[in-house]
Amino acid sequence: MKSTILNTLHSAAVVMTLCTAATIAPQASAQNPQPPSRQDSADQLLYRRAFEVALWAMPAADSFAAREAVKRDLHGKPNDVAINTKPLNSDIHLVALQTQTPYLQGAFDLKDGPIVVEIPAATSESHLYGTICDAWQRPLDGIDVGKDGWDEGKGAKYLLLPPDYKEDVPAGYKTMRSRTYLQNVLIRSISTAGWDAAVEYAYTMKVYPLAQATSPDKTTFLDMSGTVYRAAPVFDAGYFNLVDMLVQEESANDYDKTMFGMAAYVGIEKGKPFKPDAHTVQILERAAKDAQAYLIQISNGVALVPAEGQPGWTRFNLHKEDIAKGRLYVYENADGTIDYQRRAAIDYWAYVMPAVLGSGTMYNAAFVDAEGRPIDSTKNYRLRMPNGFPARNFWSVFAYDGRTRTFILHRQQQERPPAFIPRQAGEEPRRVHRHLYRSRRSQGSGIELD
């Protein structure tokens, strides 16, 4: 968080996949030109619309995938909180995370009314820091929570209000009105006393309905460690089931009404079941896979741009309009248009972006080597780290798989991802040499400071 979550890299194999991807409909040969049949034209139109819908829905697809993971993989219910009691590995399919701290992650549902999230006061050793976003990953009230957030470590009761809430708001809460019913929460527990202390402190956060404020039930924490937690969407035909959840459960923003209409042409309409036939499923499958390949291809240049004064490193391609008050992460360009392609490209590598960039976390990412050549997943690389990292709590180095958008699969999953470099409390940063080993899939490497 507090990030410019910059983690990616693509290999020649990914570019090749995109460049050789054909459209669904067969093409007429030059020797025997024939106009496309009505079915061929319909298939091409469906593919094109599905491709654009996949890009448009990217941030919301992440949100609904996270919610479904809590139910499916952890057997949880709405408003339960997932936590990793062990350092993350590639079994945890959450996007753009690191291994140094435990995470509290949840997908909260406001359909039954407001929810309270109690952030405890910081101690001399431990504190929380994170962000609560709506289904489109826009931070509620334009703020973060915890020591580097609105409460500044003093602790607070955050009251999450659904979009249609019209009752009086009780005193004693920091109110956060959402524009969607589904909320995405990602919070770090950071402790100078070590990992176990950070986990123990994380359990002091509370989540409960406002209706139970006088006597709330105990918050349910679900351990995602030791299980395959598929909280990121898979880019296949099933991706459009997540889009259907969005359309069925949420209202359209004014600037999204056209895309809701385009989704209807794909077969996704509010109040109607989404039941594509086998032929349509094949087209949706291709559209989703090609959309992912495209997002990987445009990562370097659209999602991320060169970081000023840091040769070889990149930062998120955020414009001043993207972080403007009241329009945070809407991705509205200066001319008033919504850049859903750039939004999709950035959100492919980011999950629950912080409201205030740079004060709690900073990420850098590399796509190319020192010679400016794209990082190749078949080669080995050495990363030289300078002295004097400006890290208050820790810094780490990690690499991501470009397809899963999370850590590279290890032979021994009990190990932390390669190139993990913790900074102990009071320890001066030191110069280190590391080799990053690449898997056969496209992936990205990043440096995080906190």
CB-based contact 158:174 (threshold 8 Å): yes
Q: What percent of the chain has pLDDT over 90?
A: 60
Report the alpha-carbon distance of residue 241 to residue 244 in Å, rounded: 5
Residue 142 to residues 9, 62, 310, 441, Cα–Cα distance (Å): 30, 20, 29, 36
pLDDT, position 439: 37
Is 409 a residue whose pLDDT tops 90? Answer: no
**Region 142-151: what's the mean pLDDT?**
95
Give the DSSP H/E element, type plus range, for residue 72.
helix 58-73
Is 18 a residue whose pLDDT tops 60? Answer: no
Tell me the pLDDT of the chain averaged across its residues.
Answer: 84
pLDDT, one tens digit per residue, over 266-300 is 999 999 999 999 999 999 999 999 999 999 999 98
88's tokens:
């993350």
CB-based contact 159:169 (threshold 8 Å): yes
**Region 220-240: what's the mean pLDDT?**
96
pLDDT, one tens digit per residue, over 387-401 is 777 777 777 787 888
Report the alpha-carbon distance of residue 299 to residue 446 in Å, rounded: 14
pLDDT, position 410: 60
pLDDT, position 448: 57
Is 430 a residue whose pLDDT tops 60? Answer: no
**Region 327-354: what's the mean pLDDT?**
92
395-401/380-385 β-pairing? unpaired
Q: What percent of the chain has pLDDT over 70?
A: 84
pLDDT, position 383: 81
CB-based contact 348:295 (threshold 8 Å): yes
Is 160 a residue whose pLDDT tops 60? Answer: yes
126-134/145-146 β-pairing? antiparallel
Position 80 confidence tier, pLDDT thresholds 50, 70, 90? very high
Where is pLDDT greater, at 371 or 221?
221
Is 427 a residue whose pLDDT tops 70? Answer: no
387's tokens:
């002295």
Where is pLDDT greater, at 161 or 19?
161
Secondary structure of residue 207 in the 3-state scheme: strand
**Region 414-427: what's the mean pLDDT?**
41
Dihedral over Cα of 350, 352, 353, 354: its sign: negative
Closest Cα partner for 345 from 43, 5, 18?
Answer: 5
Position 381 confidence tier, pLDDT thresholds 50, 70, 90? confident
**Region 432-447: what's the mean pLDDT?**
43
**Region 150-154: what's the mean pLDDT?**
97
pLDDT, one tens digit per residue, over 97-108 is 888 899 999 999
**Region 258-267: what's the mean pLDDT?**
96
- Regarding pTM above 0.75, the answer is yes
Residue 60 to residues 78, 108, 211, 417, Cα–Cα distance (Å): 17, 14, 28, 28
